[in-house]
Amino acid sequence: MAKEYSWEQASSYLPPKREGFGWPILIAVVVALVIHLMLLIYFGSHFIKLPVAEPQEWVSQPVNMSEIQTEFEEDAEEPAEEIFEKPEIDGELIDSTEDAQFDLKDAEIDFDTQIEDPLLPEVKIEQPALIGEEDGNIPEPVVGNDSNAEIPEAGKIENLFPEAANGQIVIDDGSPLADVIDPDAVISELGKKQGAGGNSEVGVIKGYTGLDEYAKMSPGQLQENKASIGSDLLFAYNESTLRDNARLTLMKVAMLIDRNPSMYCWVEGHTDTFGGDALNESLSAKRSQAVKDWLVKSLQLEPKMIVIRSFGKTSPIVLTGSKEDQAPNRRVDIKMRKERPGPIERPVKMLVKPGKAQIVPEEDPIPKAQIVPEEELIPKAEIIP
């Protein structure tokens, strides 16, 4: 057995060693880093302005659309020209109408009763679009309203503006109240009416204050005062439906309630003295309820803090007069109070008819004076010598 292997006899080979290239490479790397650092510092402190293109405004223009015929249509064949054959005429042609005149007295004329409807050529409008329809159909004429000249009130113009009821406040279109209806201004005018119990110069109904002034008072002053709104501003005569312009007036009442949430608002309805007690009491109750319903539903106010009361015609300001004179009686009073109102005291009606008057016997009459005769008179005094 061999004591030596073949791989042990192979000589070892060592690669050649580098001959000092490490330092030059290191120096080159360091120099490159220094150069990059210097360039970075240089360009960081200097700004290079590059040319920028100027902004251009884009203007849009209308595009002209034109139809392009992509496929050429085959040339259509022209229709063959019709050749009309001249009719054969037995007689000779006449050149003028004068030669055609002849006497018809002796001529025999035959009439045929079996005549067919003439065939009219179909005429088509060249430009049917000019009359408004594609096929050129003629529109049917419009039939107007029939008028009867035998009507008794023919020519009478209908009155579109209802007349004002008796006693209703009418505001002239040219007056300042026509644009903005101020409830205080209307109450002021009512206070100037003769018999309204107010000051004719100041125009204030006795015992009332203006709604604007009432809203500025303190709770203590509100307790002692009251305001009023003319019912003719809120409702039509003998009606309980609010007018459209009444909502502006009720907004002031809503502000008054909102500023004093701890106080009760008494809404008291009053009417004039015309009509029965039950009718006026029902009308004043409906009007007070209409005011409360609008304040609660429209402005979400607390319903328990608004109390309605109906007095009818039991508390008039003007006792007598026409409906126009009694306009101050038709009102809605507004009272702000710290407590709820008590029951309304109404006059008690007599249910028992009084008995007939009885004749009371007179007592013994006083004796009449009697004439005393002169003899019984006291003797006259005599003069003593």
On whether residue 200 sits in a domain, the answer given is: yes
Question: Which of 147-156, 203-212, 338-347, 365-374 has the lowest average pLDDT?
Answer: 147-156
322, 248 Cβ separation under 8 angstroms: no
Q: What is the pLDDT of residue 82?
A: 77
Q: Quick one: average pLDDT of 230-251?
A: 85
Q: Is 304 in a helix, a strand, or coil?
A: helix
Which range, of 18-22, 41-45, 198-202, 302-306, averages the lowest pLDDT?
A: 198-202
262 lies in a domain?
yes
- Please give the pLDDT value at position 263: 93
Q: Is there a domain that residue 318 lies in?
A: yes
Instruction: Tell me if 189 is assigned to some domain.
Output: yes
Give the residue numbers spanning the domain of 294: 176-337
Q: How far apart are CA 271 and CA 286, in angstroms?
A: 12
Q: Is 285 inside a domain boundary? A: yes
| Residue 269 vs residue 355, higher pLDDT | 269
CATH code, domain with 193? 3.30.1330.60
So what's the pLDDT on residue 43?
82
More confident residue, 370 or 230: 230
Q: Is there a domain that residue 203 lies in? A: yes
Count of structural domains, the chain = 1
Is pLDDT of 363 > 80? no
Q: Which token pair is 83?
A: 């050749």
Query: For 115-171, how does the pLDDT look when each residue is reduced to its tens digit (9 = 90+)?
Result: 666 666 665 655 555 555 555 565 666 665 655 555 555 555 556 555 655 544 444
Residue 317 domain-assigned (yes or no): yes
CA atoms of 311 and 309, how far apart (whole Å): 7
Average pLDDT over residues 260-287: 91
Q: What percent of the chain has pLDDT over 70?
A: 51
Q: Hey, what are 382's tokens?
A: 């005599």
